[in-house]
Amino acid sequence: MGITADTGDVWGVKAADWAEFQEPTWRPAYAAIMARAEVGIGTKLLDVGCGGGGALTVARELGAEIHGLDASRGLVAVARSRLPGARIEVGNMLELPFRDESFDVVSGFNSFQFADDVVAALNEARRVCKKRGLVTMLVWGRRQDCDLLNVILPAIITPPIDDGPEYAEPEVMEDAMRAAGLSPTVSGDLDCEFTYPDSEIAWRAISSAPPLMRASESLGDEAVRKTLNAALARFTHADGTVTHKNRLRWAFATR
């Protein structure tokens, strides 16, 4: 599934719900990667596929000079409203509108693997990264290690979503980075819990992504919501909070 202008428009349909209810569940992942990348005061950072600015918010809190790019006009509008003064562009990760060697860190949280040409997207990240700078890539882990991919979404979407090469497998991200002229340095897994205060917020968060929107178009909102709530029952606690556990995989490379 490539990130194009059309894809960006789809992501913008429920941009407010994505930014308000889904992105906050990713904050521990953003923070963990920023810490490992040693993002701090004065770091010049570009987040590719920045969405509503969740990772950029963490980076700004750490003192970084932040920049972002996303294909969705709706999500970019949210990010700009959240992060006044930051340069956040609408565009394609295959043609980054930034100068060569501009950034200390170029991050991609669940984004680079969706490019029409992953190596080309990583090559663009390399181009705008300073010498000895860092390119980071984070993806969903193996399907069996992710409640969302293994249990929740398959209850609604069949066959399971296939995004091409299994980037969660060892050396797959690293090989793409090498093909783009980068030098992989370290990689690993990151266990994260995605928690929502109640089933209503869980519905609004999960249904703000295109796969659920497409399911709602074909099956109807109520049918999808009923099926999703049933799938979430096993992840719902006595106090009503909903928590699903997922293992993410990340890799770093230098220019």
Give me the CATH code for the 5-140+163-193+248-254 domain, please.
3.40.50.150
- Cis peptide before 159, with omega less than 30 degrees from 0? yes
pLDDT at position 50: 97
This prediction has a pTM of 0.92
> 3-class SS at 123?
helix
pLDDT at position 13: 86
Return d(Cα 244, Cα 146) in angstroms, integer.
Answer: 8
Domain ranges of the chain: 5-140+163-193+248-254
pLDDT digits (tens, 9 = 90+) for 16-44: 999 999 999 999 999 999 999 999 999 99
The pairing of strands 129-140 and 242-254 is antiparallel
Write out the H or E segment, with its range, that includes residue 250.
strand 242-254
CB-based contacts of 245, cutoff 8 Å, min separation 6: 146, 147, 191, 192, 193, 194
Return d(Cα 103, Cα 167) in angstroms, integer.
Answer: 25
- Contact status, residue 188 vs residue 131, Cβ threshold 8 Å: no
Question: pLDDT in tens for each of the 255 residues of the chain?
Answer: 344 444 557 777 899 999 999 999 999 999 999 999 999 999 999 999 999 999 999 999 999 999 999 999 999 999 999 999 999 999 999 999 999 999 999 999 999 999 999 999 999 999 999 999 999 999 999 999 999 999 999 998 875 565 556 899 999 999 999 999 999 999 999 999 999 999 999 999 999 988 888 888 888 888 999 999 999 999 999 999 999 999 999 999 999
